[in-house]
Amino acid sequence: MSFLSFNVMSRGGPMMWVLLVLGATALVFFIERTLFLHRGQISAKAFVDGIKNILAKRRIVEALTVCEETPGPVAAVVKAALLHAHEDEARLRFAVQEAAIVEIPSLDRRLGSIAAIAQIAPLVGLLGTILGFITTFAAFEHDYATASVLARGMWMALLSTAGSLMLAIPARLAHHFLASRVRAIVRDIEWAGNEIMQYLVIEYRASDARGEDERS
């Protein structure tokens, strides 16, 4: 009898259904987070350079419009800086940091749940294994126990262990993949925030001052 010719879920016992629910939940979370992070990740350098070019033409409203139309936390942080472009440096920095604080938690959402599933799955499998052994030893207590009855407990133990590992390993890899994506976006946020602040404080305001001197 081949491995695929019998009902794995029924032979694996009740813990297999728990693993199935955990696996489906992890898969939904992974797909949702992957799509969310993909939409939010842009080329920070190209975006900030484009905003600088617009600001060099003194078109701050156009720059704000570009930020609003661009998805992701990098655009939101740059927009916060532009909204406070003419305020003092301390308030400008506070506005950028506040925008980053608002955006970053949304990146980490559900990553903890995926990590928890990766950690819980082996424990669920261990519980299924123990239940399988209990079933086996309970059968040994009866003189009329047949080989099929004994095998039922062993199948439950082995399939629960295998199922838990087949869930835990991909879940751990998925968490690592998503966490690396989040770290990359956070680095882009920090770089874009510092870059646009330096530009506004040094170059943009200096250009404003030169323009006022020429008009006077």
Give the DSSP per-residue string, 150-161.
Answer: HHHHHHHHHHHH
Residues with Cβ within 8 Å of 74's Cβ and at least 6 positions away in sequence, in order, are: 40, 42, 44, 47, 185, 188, 189, 192
Q: Are 56 and 23 in contact (CB under 8 A)?
A: no
User: What letters, b where the CB count within 10 A reaches 16 and e where it falls short, cover 41-58?
Assistant: bbebeebbeebbebbeee
DSSP reduced 3-state for 103: helix
Between the two ends of the chain, the Cα-to-Cα distance in Å is 93
Is a pLDDT exceeding 50 seen at residue 5? no
**Range name among 9-13, 88-92, 118-122, 152-156 with the lowest pLDDT average:** 9-13
What percent of the chain clears pLDDT 70, i.e. is strictly above it? 88
Distance CA 63, CA 80 (A): 11
The string of pLDDT tens digits covering residues 78-89 is 999 999 888 888
Band of the pLDDT at 168, cuts 50, 70, 90?
Answer: very high
Q: Say if residues 92 and 85 touch (Cβ distance below 8 Å).
A: yes
Evaluate the CA torsion angle 147, 151, 154, 156 in order and state its sign.
Answer: negative
pLDDT average, residue stretch 125-137: 87
Residue 135 has pLDDT above 90, yes or no: no
Name the pTM for this structure.
0.80
> How large is the average pLDDT for residues 163-170?
94
127-154 per-residue burial string, b: 16 or more CB within 10 A, e: under 16: bbbebbeebbeebeeeeeeeeeeeebbe
CA atoms within 13 A on the CB side of 85: 23
Q: Evaluate whether 101 touches 73 at the Cβ level (below 8 Å).
A: no
Is pLDDT of 204 > 70?
A: yes
**Distant-in-sequence, close-in-space partners of 191: CB < 8 Å, separation ≥ 6:** 44, 45
Residue with tokens 């001052």: 209
Mean pLDDT of the chain: 86
Which pLDDT belongs to residue 2? 44
